[in-house]
A and B are shown apart, each in its own frame.
Chain A
Amino acid sequence: MKVTVDEAKCCGAGQCVLIAPDVFDQRDDDGIVILLDAEPASDQHTAVREAAAVCPSAAIRLDSDD
């Protein structure tokens, strides 16, 4: 799985950080998403998929091999 984020679209809702804190964070100075791990291990995939599905600004993209 390969994760990309669109900072321009991000609205800082923080859902991704609540759901997959090992993969996403938010910048302290504007609340915008930080991608901590662009190729998360398989035990993170369910959480990352959930984060992408519920992102209110559709700012998380997944390219999945599996």
Chain B
Amino acid sequence: MSHNDQVLSYPLHYDTALEPPKEWEQLRGQCPVATIELPSGDRATLLTRHEHIKTLLADARFARPTAADNAARVAPAGSGGVAATGDSSLAIPDKGEPHQRWRRLVGKYFTAKRMAALRPSMTATTERLIDEMVQQGAPADLKAGVGFPLPVYVICDMLGVPADDRHRFSRWSDMMLSVTRYSQEETHASMGEFVQYMSGHIATKRANQASDLIGMLIKESEGEGEGMSDAELLTTAMGLLVAGHETTANMIGKMVAMLLADRARWERLLADLSLVRAAVEESLRFDVNHGFGLRRFLTEDAEVGGQVLPAGTTVLCGMSAANRDESAFDQADQMDLGRAPNAHLAFGAGPHSCLGQALARTEMQVVLETLLRKLPTLELAVPAEDLQRMEGLLVGGLREVPVRW
């Protein structure tokens, strides 16, 4: 790695699901701007230091590569969903004033206060899901029982889309986020179904003047030149549905697994529930399975840590690696449930920082509080080192989180 001619194969190998790949420390220390080979065979530049990634993500000149950029491809030919291939039919403005305008149109529905107002209904749903899981008996998969359904119910309710269709969303979502798991034929076919499904919903809402988020966006877009185009509306609705559940569902599973992997962590929370907010942030920071990482396509030269990266470079931001950077976090390899401030990069940074982060935070806090209250005896039903990672998607997570109580 310290030699320029050595190219790392990416994604990196994990010995166990909750421990960082051993290359991270060496990369941050000796090769923070590294050349990697993606599953497609194309080369990209991997960043692993907190400061470098924060600076690049804050640079409004750059955004995620689109199909038109001729950027390094993530997925091998014949595979990859639209989130990996950057399909240009996904029409959301990605830079500058148009992007900011789009973001503010949608972002106002995800403010901290609006999310706090959802807490009572989120708590009731979480209680019901836990009760159902308990009724079925231990051991149970906490990801399937609670982690996955809660965010789906919440985003479906916000968008006014039936949660009964959640198994289809899950499949469409995995297809969109696929790197190597599905063929391009499969992802294209499923995108077609998803577009048709959501177009139908939008048409119904337009006719019925619905009061949910999609209905409100339709209403705001009625005037000439106001709000969103039909294509933007469709992409936004699909994007929110996928982004609104997949990442959080996985993160809930990972959070619980990390907190139970060393039961002293769980005990500390039981003894002091005021730590829940900080514990959620620390779970986000400590997570080593963030996923593929955020990509940025350099449309002009950019300086990173004193080194000039030429225009045309595809940069991959290794946020999980940066979240373990000792120069940004004291005792970065320790999970400190009271850590504050905790400027982790789990939601990115800068103008593209996760739009739904207040929603994700609220969901994670509600799940954690409710689990601590209802199932204080919760524990992992397998040794932590036997937990298995999901592979082949842009988003990272555990396949299952087996628990008992």
Binding site for B on A (CB under 8 A): 9, 11-15, 17-18, 25-32, 49-50, 53-54, 56-58
Question: CB of B331 within 8 A of chain A?
Answer: no
Report chain B residues within 8 Å CB of A12.
103-104, 107-108, 110-111, 355
A34 to B342, CA, bound (A): 22
Evaluate contact between A18 and B341: CB separation under 8 angstroms.
Answer: no
Contact with A along B329-368 (1 / 0, CB 8 A): 0000000000011110001111111110110010000000
Report chain B residues within 8 Å CB of A28.
108, 111
A14 to B110, CA, bound (A): 9
Nearest first, the 8 A-B pairs at minimum CB distance are A14-B112, A53-B341, A30-B104, A56-B353, A17-B112, A31-B107, A14-B358, A12-B107
- B interface residues, how many (CB within 8 angstroms): 28
Q: List 17 A-B contacts (CB under 8 A).
A: A11-B353, A14-B110, A17-B112, A18-B112, A18-B358, A18-B361, A26-B112, A26-B113, A27-B108, A28-B111, A29-B108, A31-B111, A53-B341, A54-B342, A54-B343, A56-B350, A57-B350
Report chain A residues within 8 Å CB of B115.
14
Q: Looking at chain A's contact residues, is the secondary structure mostly helix, strand, loop, or mixed?
A: loop
Evaluate contact between B108 and A50: CB separation under 8 angstroms.
Answer: no
Residue of A with least CB distance to B116: A18
Evaluate contact between A30 and B108: CB separation under 8 angstroms.
Answer: yes
- Contacts A14-B112, A57-B353 known; list 4 others, CB within 8 Å: A11-B350, A53-B343, A54-B341, A56-B347
Question: CB of B140 within 8 A of chain A?
Answer: no
Report chain B residues within 8 Å CB of A11.
103, 107, 350-353
Rounded to whole Å, the gap between the CB of A36 and the closest CB of chain B is 13
Binding site for A on B (CB under 8 A): 58, 103-105, 107-108, 110-113, 115, 277, 340-343, 347-355, 357-358, 361
Report chain A residues within 8 Å CB of B108.
12, 26-31
Residue of A with least CB distance to B60: A9
A17 to B361, CA, bound (A): 13
Residue of B with least CB distance to A53: B341
Rounded to whole Å, the gap between the CB of B320 and the closest CB of chain A is 16
Which of A49, A56, A58 has the most chain B CB within a 10 Å cutoff? Answer: A56
Which of A18, A53, A58 has the most chain B CB within a 10 Å cutoff? Answer: A18
A37 to B110, CA, bound (A): 23
Contacts A14-B115, A18-B358, A26-B112 given; indicate if A57 touches B351 (C-beta within 8 A): yes
Rounded to whole Å, the gap between the CB of B395 and the closest CB of chain A is 19
Rounded to whole Å, the gap between the CB of B115 and the closest CB of chain A is 7
Report chain A residues within 8 Å CB of B103.
11-12
A32 to B101, CA, bound (A): 12
Evaluate contact between A32 and B358: CB separation under 8 angstroms.
Answer: no
Residue of B with least CB distance to A30: B104
Evaluate contact between B361 and A32: CB separation under 8 angstroms.
Answer: no
